[in-house]
Structure 1
Amino acid sequence: MRYLSFRDTTGAIRAGVLDPDAPGKVHDVTDLLPPGEGSPMRRLIAAGLDIGEILGRAPVLDSGGITVTAPVPDPTKVVAAPVNYRNHQSEMQQASHIDSLGVFLKAPSSVAGPGAVVTLPYHDRRFDQEGEFAAVIGKTARHVSEVDALDHVFGYTCLLDMTMRGGEDRSVRKSFDTFTPTGPTLVSPADVPPIDELELHLWVNGALRQRADLKDLIWSLPKLIAYVSSVMTLNPGDIVTTGTPEGVGEVYDGDRIEVEVTGLDRLAVTVSNAGAVACPTLGAGHGPKPPAELTPVAERG
Structure 2
Amino acid sequence: MRLALFDDYRLGVVTGDGVVDVTDALPWPHDPDPLSAGWWRRLCRDFADVREALEKAAELGRPVRPARLLAPALNPSKIVASASNYADHVAEMHDVQERTLGGVVSWMFDFDVFLKAPSSISGPQDDIVLPDAVVAAGQEIHHESELVVVIGAGGKDIPEESALDHVVGYTLGLDITVRSAADRSRRKSYDTFSPLGPYLVTADEVGDPAGLDIRLSVNGEERQAVHTSTMITKVPAIVAYASSMMTLLPGDLLFTGAPPGVGPIHRGDVLDTGISRIGTMRLTVR
**TM-score, normalised on structure 1?**
0.82
C-alpha separation between the residues in 2 aligned to 1:228 and 1:25?
Answer: 33
Which residue of structure 2 aligns with residue 114 of structure 1? 124
| Contact 2:71–2:195 under 8 Å retained in 1 | yes
| Contact 2:12–2:19 under 8 Å retained in 1 | no
C-alpha separation between the residues in 2 aligned to 1:43 and 1:196?
Answer: 27
Question: Helix, strand or coil: the match of 1:116?
Answer: coil
- Give me the CA root mean square deviation: 1.9
Kindly provide the CA deviation profile for residues 113-142 of structure 1, in whole angstroms up to 9, marking residues without a partner as x: 102111100322211100000110011221
C-alpha separation between the residues in 1 aligned to 2:166 and 2:64?
Answer: 29
C-alpha separation between the residues in 2 aligned to 1:115 and 1:25?
Answer: 15
Which residue of structure 2 aligns with residue 237 of structure 1? 251
| Contact 1:159–1:182 under 8 Å retained in 2 | yes
Which residue of structure 1 aligns with residue 9 of structure 2? 13
C-alpha separation between the residues in 2 aligned to 1:97 and 1:30?
Answer: 47
Residues 1:30 and 1:253: Cα distance change in structure 2 (over 3 Å): farther
Kindly provide the CA deviation profile for residues 195-254 of structure 1, in whole angstroms up to 9, marking residues without a partner as x: 222111111111110011111111101000000001001111100010011101100001
Question: Helix, strand or coil: the match of 2:204?
Answer: helix
C-alpha separation between the residues in 2 aligned to 1:55 and 1:212?
Answer: 33
Which residue of structure 1 aligns with residue 28 of structure 2? 34
Match of 1:23 among 17, 25, 46: 17
* Of 57-66 and 46-55, the range deviating more from structure 2: 57-66
Which residue of structure 1 aligns with residue 224 of structure 2? 210
Which residue of structure 2 aligns with residue 73 of structure 1? 74
Whether 1:103 aligns to 2:97 is no
| Contact 1:198–1:213 under 8 Å retained in 2 | yes
More helix by share: 2
Which residue of structure 2 aligns with residue 83 of structure 1? 84
| Contact 2:127–2:285 under 8 Å retained in 1 | yes
Question: Helix, strand or coil: the match of 1:190?
Answer: helix
C-alpha separation between the residues in 2 aligned to 1:111 and 1:151?
Answer: 25
Match of 1:198 among 212, 216, 221: 212
What residue ranges of structure 1 are gaps of 5+ in the alignment?
Answer: 273-301
Q: How many residues align?
A: 265
Shift of 1:61: 4.3
Percent of aligned pairs with the same amino acid: 37
C-alpha separation between the residues in 1 aligned to 2:45 and 2:211?
Answer: 28
C-alpha separation between the residues in 2 aligned to 1:54 and 1:71?
Answer: 16
| Contact 1:76–1:108 under 8 Å retained in 2 | yes
**TM-score, normalised on structure 2?**
0.87
